[in-house]
Amino acid sequence: DAGITQSPRHKVTETGTPVTLRCHQTENHRYMYWYRQDPGHGLRLIHYSYGVKDTDKGEVSDGYSVSRSKTEDFLLTLESATSSQTSVYFCAISGEGGPTDTQYFGPGTRLTVL
Amino acid sequence: GQNIDQPTEMTATEGAIVQINCTYQTSGFNGLFWYQQHAGEAPTFLSYNVLDGLEEKGRFSSFLSRSKGYSYLLLKELQMKDSASYLCAAARDDKIIFGKGTRLHILP
Per-residue model confidence as pLDDT tens digits over B11-42:
999 999 999 999 999 888 999 999 999 999 99
> Is the separation of the CB atoms in B34 and B87 below 8 Å?
yes
> Is A42–B91 a contact, with Cβ atoms under 8 angstroms apart?
no
Mean pLDDT of chain A: 94
Query: For residues B84 and B106, what is the distance between their CA atoms, to the nearest angstrom?
Result: 9
> Is B95–A90 a contact, with Cβ atoms under 8 angstroms apart?
no
Residue of B nearest to A90 (CA): B42
Distance from CA of A16 to the nearest CA of B (A): 27
Per-residue model confidence as pLDDT tens digits over B52-71:
999 999 999 999 999 999 99
Q: Which residues pair with A109 in a beta bridge?
A: A89
Which residues in chain A touch residue B48, judged by CB atoms under 8 angstroms apart? 102
B94 pLDDT tier (thresholds 50, 70, 90) = confident
